[in-house]
Structure 1
Amino acid sequence: MTSTSLPYIEHRIQRAQGHIHTREYPGSGPAFVLMHGFPDNLHIYDELVPYLTQAGRRVVSFDFLGFGQSAKPDGAAYNFAQQLGDLEAVVNALKLERIIPVAHDAAGPTAINYTLAHRDRVAELHILNSLYARTPAIRMPELIEVFASPSLRALATAFTQSPEQLGWLLGVQQALFHAALPAHQQAHFLEVMPGLIGDNFRQQPSALPAFAQMNADLFAEVTRNAARLDQVKALDLPVRIIWGAADPYLGAALAEDFRAGFGDVTLDLIEAGHWLQIDAPAEVAALMTKPRGQ
């Protein structure tokens, strides 16, 4: 079963640059608000959501502006401040009194900075193979390095102008993630990820402008967040870190950095890759819904 076969309410939440495509699954407790990185969309959670709803939990997933089925207007500006505003718009529009932000990949800054700004509305914080501030433990994927490095901006622009060459680069990157996975998870990765990532660029309008602009803001964002680490350490809420140990880029050393950066924190390393919610959804859901102290 995937989330596409479950009943949900679809919302089109308006922002100045267009609508945010949102899915709300009924349940109880503080809502898990699932956030994706780039070049992903909400479908990275399709196999996780059924396990969360079977546990009786309320779940919200959405596409950041510029990705998936959210608006991609010509001339739109995409950055981490805009993504924080997207999350705030979703929480306010759905009248979510208390939430559990769930960060994956480059959604870490949005989840953590929302928690800093709205501590009273956050019950817990969950982090899945993500990033936040600059640290030697981060190794950026090659695709991200090309689009995020100012010195490679001309090369990134060339890739944006050639769908064939961009497709080649995406294929190389996916092969590197695939090779690092445990053998029993590799076939499923090939069933899911090439289509999920590729559709973000093939469908028109494309997510490519948002992807390029978010990458251009990435290094500046992790530098900005380094100045917030004392505030993060002082957060008085439970933090649950669930980490795919076979991630070749955001690896176990980064998970340990996160653990050291919070006060009330648990860390679970599992046999999975970067997209652990696809590799091991039942295990991830069990940890997300596990009562504290067990």
Structure 2
Amino acid sequence: MHGVPTSSFLYRKLLKSLDEKGFRGIAIDFPGFGLSDRPADFNYSFQGFSEFIARAVKILKLDKFHLVVHDAGGPPGFHFAAAHREKIKSLSILNTWIDVVNFKKPWMMKPLEFDLLGEIELKSINYYSWYIMFSKIGVLSSRQISNEEIAVYVDLLKRKDKGNAFLKFMRNYDDSANFRNSCIPAIQNTPYPVQLIWGAKDPALKAEKYIPEFQKFGSVDKTIKLPSRHLLQEEVYNEIARSIYELAQI
């Protein structure tokens, strides 16, 4: 499950690496992101995305599977997993959060919450500004990633609606204790193994803050820190694939 302002495109290398290990990987685009539609009446929220996951799983006829979540795809993924524990074979958690009550958006995302400021920031996301953010927050080194690949993120974000669905979602984060409590069973006393895979140099969701959060609320079988930043699927995809494969053997 992808986060923001990304899409399933972030998983393209990881899917290939998993395929080489004999795994069929599926990466979906949440409504409003990537190649998905952007209906005006969709519930752009953690709850809405969790319900979308459930519909996708039903349509794809997935019985049991290994779930991978990242960034803002974490809370919807946890909510889904908590309600459908019988479908989860393993859970791999990449640079995200579960304590929605106490979560504070990173400074670069905070303006999106507010009228006018959000519209201004959304409009300012272009190839140049995204390249800077991608290089400083997303990865340790962008040398092995083409400028064309980096630019695709902007094209996918602003496709059709110029990013308005993304803005709706950013203004609709559920920070209630009820929603947090509905997510906790995804990592607490689970019938499946759970692991944390963290880009250790992430300046937005820092390992020293968020890893203990998961250890506080649930049971974690493995914690793996990798030399990357927030978009770790871009540069340590083979290591992530290996960790998912190894967890699947438990």
TM-score class normalised by the smaller sequence: 0.7 to 0.9
Q: Does structure 2 retain, via aligned residues, the 8 Å contact 1:237–1:264?
A: no
1:255 aligns with 211
- Which SS does the other structure have where 1:123 is aligned? strand
1:269 partnered with 2:225: yes
1:178 aligns with 135
Q: Does structure 2 retain, via aligned residues, the 8 Å contact 1:177–1:247?
A: no
Q: Distance in 2 between matches of 1:76 and 1:225?
A: 19
Alignment gaps of 5+ in structure 1: 1-34
Which residues in structure 2 correspond to 1:1-294 (within 5 Å)?
35-134=1-100, 140-148=105-113, 152-160=114-122, 163=123, 165-167=124-126, 171=129, 175-179=132-136, 185-188=141-144, 191=147, 194-206=150-162, 208-218=163-173, 220-221=174-175, 223-228=177-182, 231=185, 232-253=187-208, 254-291=210-247
Q: Does structure 2 retain, via aligned residues, the 8 Å contact 1:273–1:279?
A: no
Among all aligned residue pairs of Structure 1 and Structure 2, give the percentage whose two residues are the same amino acid. 23
CA shift in 2, pair 1:74/1:140, >3 Å: closer
- Larger C-alpha radius of gyration, 1 or 2? 1
Q: Distance in 1 between matches of 2:33 and 2:120?
A: 21
Q: Does structure 2 retain, via aligned residues, the 8 Å contact 1:239–1:265?
A: yes
More strand by share: 1
Deviation digits for residues 147-172 of structure 1, max 9, x if unmatched?
13xxx333113445xx3x3438x81x
- Which SS does the other structure have where 2:95 is aligned? strand
Equivalences, count: 248
Deviation digits for residues 217-255 of structure 1, max 9, x if unmatched?
12x346544334663423332101111001101111212
Alignment gaps of 5+ in structure 2: none
- Which SS does the other structure have where 1:153 is aligned? coil
Q: Does structure 2 retain, via aligned residues, the 8 Å contact 1:140–1:250?
A: no
CA RMSD of aligned residues (A): 2.7
Deviation digits for residues 135-156 of structure 1, max 9, x if unmatched?
76x66333321113xxx33311
State the one-letter code of the partner of 2:136. A
State the one-letter code of the partner of 1:157. E
State the one-letter code of the partner of 2:235. D
